[in-house]
Structure 1
Amino acid sequence: MIKIFVTGPPGIGKTTCVYKVFEMLRLYEYRVGGFITREVREGGKRIGFRIIELDEGLEDWLANIHGTSRYRIGKYYVFIDKLDSIINSIEKRIMSYDALIFDEIGPMELLSSKFNTFIQRTLNIRVPTVYTVHHKISNELNKRFNTRYENVLYILTTDNREGMPLIIWRALSKYLTRDTT
């Protein structure tokens, strides 16, 4: 089994990269679970992040500059309850997926103890998984989480980002299986 980690500086295209992998998986009719985090802009300024569950399309705020929450990262209020709700939805069906994608493991998400426990679980189940990792925590992943499976770290750069979705797809596809019963 494989666990693929994608990291790189902010704005390099980590979400775009793994979303392209998601689209390839869907094209070949694989069932994909997980979530993508998208930034939201107003008047050219980032106001927050939405979290989108990939299987059923559930969507909610992960963080924004408006609202209230006891959790905060910089200028953003982080809505742990919304993240936990998305995690609950994925967790119910986790073993029914052919692959998983989680965008991202970052400071906001790591505020949730449920998220931490859930990510540790995904590292030790027999489902090929792709994670994006915030650049500031990519070095501490081994301290925070451990897996018994093969894991690969790709660092996204302006030079490799166009070809990276295909590289990830090829690495992932070796582990994809379908139940033929």
Structure 2
Amino acid sequence: MARHVFLTGLPGVGKTTLIHKSIDTLKSAGVPIVGFYTEEVRINGRRIGFDVVTVSGKRGTLSRTRNDAGSGRCEYRVGQYAVDVSSFECLVLPLFTKVNGKDDKEKKLYVIDEIGKMELFSERFVQAVRQILDTTGATILGTIPVPKGKSLCLVEDIRSRRDVKIFNITKDNRNSIAQEIITTVQDCRKLNGM
């Protein structure tokens, strides 16, 4: 039986929209949720990068195009985007660590949208995700990219886990699959004793 739920599908198919719908419904049901999702940043209709937004509404830079990345040195790139690993880690890692000296990973729903090339430049993020995947009582609702080109180790590990349910999102099912995703997350939480 699944303990974690991941959505996969082509870019732009609606994975993040489904994450938003799930968050809204689960929050209304009183489920404690922490985590983040990514959003495109556009200026005059042109995409210049991506931001990370926490479930509580805090925002930070994930990446910018080379022209909009600022003067800071960037070690990591994905295509035309310079990835700001430091900004990403400062915003995201505290969501997955101990709070007030107590392990806060139990009995929470962790939203992780997404586990992709940009996010995986952070080894500390990879370690945090692996720890949550293995924590009794924790459930992840996340997104992973479709297999393409060079495989991403953590993504392939997630795909091969027996305790993960993966939904393949397509243009044909994206408008009808939300309730099935939410029900599966609720079933995972019951299995995890929540």
TM-score (ref. length: structure 2): 0.82
Letter of the structure 1 residue corresponding to residue 114 of structure 2: E
Percent of residue pairs identical: 26
Q: Tell me the number of residue pairs that the alignment of Structure 1 and Structure 2 aligns.
A: 179
Alignment match, 1:83: 88
Alignment match, 2:116: 106
C-alpha spacing 1:152/1:179, structure 2 compared with 1 (3 Å): closer
Judge conservation of contact 1:87–1:118 (CA < 8 Å) in 2.
no
Letter of the structure 2 residue corresponding to residue 86 of structure 1: L
CA-CA distance at 1:5 after TM superposition: 1.3
CA-CA distance at 1:51 after TM superposition: 0.2
Q: Distance in 1 between matches of 2:193 and 2:180?
A: 25
Judge conservation of contact 1:37–1:103 (CA < 8 Å) in 2.
yes
Aligned pair partner of 2:132 in 101, 116, 122? 122
Farther-moved stretch of structure 1 (142-151 vs 111-120): 142-151
For structure 2, the 5+ residue unaligned runs are none
Q: What secondary structure does 2:12 align onto? A: coil
TM-score (ref. length: structure 1): 0.87
CA-CA distance at 1:175 after TM superposition: 3.1
Judge conservation of contact 1:52–1:59 (CA < 8 Å) in 2.
yes
CA-CA distance at 1:72 after TM superposition: 1.0
Alignment match, 2:36: 35
Q: Distance in 2 between matches of 1:10 and 1:146?
A: 18
For structure 1, the 5+ residue unaligned runs are none
CA-CA distance at 1:106 after TM superposition: 0.5
Q: Distance in 2 between matches of 1:157 and 1:133?
A: 14
CA displacement, residues 110-141 of structure 1 (integer Å, 9 cap, x when unaligned) = 11111111111121112121110122469755
Letter of the structure 1 residue corresponding to residue 4 of structure 2: K
| 1:165 and 2:178 are equivalent in the alignment | yes
RMSD of aligned alpha carbons: 2.5
Q: Distance in 1 between matches of 2:95 and 2:23?
A: 15
Alignment match, 1:58: 58
Q: What secondary structure does 1:121 align onto? A: helix
Judge conservation of contact 1:100–1:128 (CA < 8 Å) in 2.
yes
CA displacement, residues 120-171 of structure 1 (integer Å, 9 cap, x when unaligned) = 1121112121110122469755644588762111110011101222111000
